[in-house]
């Protein structure tokens, strides 16, 4: 018998996620597989902000993607040892047979398979397609990205540099800002916890912003839109500043800024472009191999520590992609 460990939501989130929202349970899986089935053993789990935004119902296993290794197989298409990425949530073992749910890890080259959850997976593809399709950057333009030291933000800033833009980023610690400036070669950075956003934008983007990639949301979005240039493009990717709030920021509707400056403000979703991910992954992999795209993973060891890894997202504990190594 195989014993699967799984994290279940035992109380609904109110405010920031807390350890008491989660319960570790076990589930017994049969030893014998039926024809077509494979047993997948989690190797890396992804923790992402959307798991707070789109909470599962109480009593359910937390949602999410993982990289798993096939450890038993009754399916010749997925022999033992195959690495798959599967959307089965926070659990250690899963039996699957539906090929549409068993995606082989491809496109990571010689790099760690965990990248299929990060720069070469959903967050990277959100950055790639969200930024290139919605912001349509041109060489020489001024780009501002917030949440810049996170999984999505760090990729956006580097794609913007590759496209010849001047890149301004903000993040929540001086260490993160130093990484962005020294290693990722952002042109300007500021710690939003120590700065007025309005003053920082005046200082670092005195001529205004052409492209804005928004990971944070809330009233800051209004401030940035009001600082944008004519025909500027804003990609609305996420609003992590709001996910834990019962009462969301109301803010001012930046109607005049949008109208007078002819702004394009567009919601973006990585999954929306999933049929084109191979194209995005190929470019990102090439940029990594050429040294133009760097990545960082904040790896938490142990399935038991999935909860603190997730909670840490809302405290700024991660640099780059937050991953749990099982």
Closest to ligand NAP by CB, 36 or 312: 312
Whole-angstrom distance, CA of residue 120 vs CA of residue 113 = 9
CB of 214 to ligand NAP, least distance (A): 8
SS3 310: helix
Q: How far is CA 140 from CA 112, 167, 210, 211, 266, in A?
A: 34, 10, 10, 11, 22
CB of 318 to ligand NAP, least distance (A): 5
Helix (H) / strand (E) containing 46: strand 38-46
CB of 320 to ligand NAP, least distance (A): 7
CB of 325 to ligand NAP, least distance (A): 16
Whole-angstrom distance, CA of residue 323 vs CA of residue 67 = 10
Residues that bind ligand NAP (CB under 6 A): 48-50, 123, 126, 147, 149-153, 171-173, 176, 215-216, 237-241, 268-270, 313-314, 316, 318, 322
H helix intervals, 109-263 = 122-129, 151-162, 174-182, 197-204, 219-225, 255-260
Kindly give the pairing relationship between strand 321-325 and strand 38-46. antiparallel
Q: Are 63 and 36 in contact (CB under 8 A)?
A: no
Whole-angstrom distance, CA of residue 149 vs CA of residue 170 = 8
Q: In the 8-state DSSP scheme, what is residue 34?
A: P
Helix (H) / strand (E) containing 307: helix 306-313
Closest to ligand NAP by CB, 166 or 241: 241
Closest to ligand NAP by CB, 94 or 170: 170
Closest to ligand NAP by CB, 232 or 239: 239
CB of 59 to ligand NAP, least distance (A): 24
Whole-angstrom distance, CA of residue 119 vs CA of residue 101 = 21
Whole-angstrom distance, CA of residue 72 vs CA of residue 80 = 6
CB of 80 to ligand NAP, least distance (A): 32
Closest to ligand NAP by CB, 49 or 64: 49
Closest to ligand NAP by CB, 17 or 239: 239
CB of 271 to ligand NAP, least distance (A): 6
Closest to ligand NAP by CB, 38 or 237: 237
């Amino acid at each position: 018998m195989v014993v699967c460990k799984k994290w279940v939501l035992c109380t609904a989130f109110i405010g920031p996620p807390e350890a008491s929202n989660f319960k570790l349970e076990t589930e017994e899986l049969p030893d014998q597989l039926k024809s077509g089935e494979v047993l997948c053993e989690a190797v890396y789990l992804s923790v992402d902000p959307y798991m707070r935004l789109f909470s599962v119902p109480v009593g359910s296993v937390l949602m999410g993607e993982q990289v798993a290794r096939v450890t038993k197989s009754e399916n010749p298409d997925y022999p033992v040892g195959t690495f798959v990425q599967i959307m089965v949530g926070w659990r250690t073992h899963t039996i699957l047979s539906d090929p549409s749910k068993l995606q082989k890890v491809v496109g990571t080259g010689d790099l760690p398979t965990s990248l299929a959850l990060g720069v070469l997976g959903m967050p990277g593809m959100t950055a790639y397609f969200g930024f290139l399709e919605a912001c349509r950057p041109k060489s020489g333009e001024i780009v501002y990205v917030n949440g810049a030291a996170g999984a999505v933000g760090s990729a956006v800033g580097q794609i913007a540099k590759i496209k010849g833009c001047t890149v301004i980023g903000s993040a929540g610690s001086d260490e993160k800002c130093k990484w962005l400036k020294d290693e990722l070669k952002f042109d300007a950075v500021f710690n939003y916890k120590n700065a007025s956003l309005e003053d920082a934008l005046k200082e670092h983007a005195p001529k205004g912003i052409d492209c804005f990639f928004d990971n944070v949301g809330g009233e800051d979005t209004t401030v940035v839109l009001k600082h944008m240039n004519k025909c500027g493009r804003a990609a609305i990717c996420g609003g992590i500043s709001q996910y834990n709030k019962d009462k969301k920021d109301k803010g001012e509707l930046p109607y005049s800024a949008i109208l007078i400056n002819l702004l394009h403000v567009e919601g973006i979703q990585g999954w929306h472009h999933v049929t084109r991910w191979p194209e995005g992954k190929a470019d990102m992999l090439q940029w990594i191999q050429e040294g133009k795209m760097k990545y960082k993973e904040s790896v938490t060891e142990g399935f038991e520590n999935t909860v603190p890894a997730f909670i840490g997202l809302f405290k700024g504990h991660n640099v780059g992609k937050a991953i749990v190594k099982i």
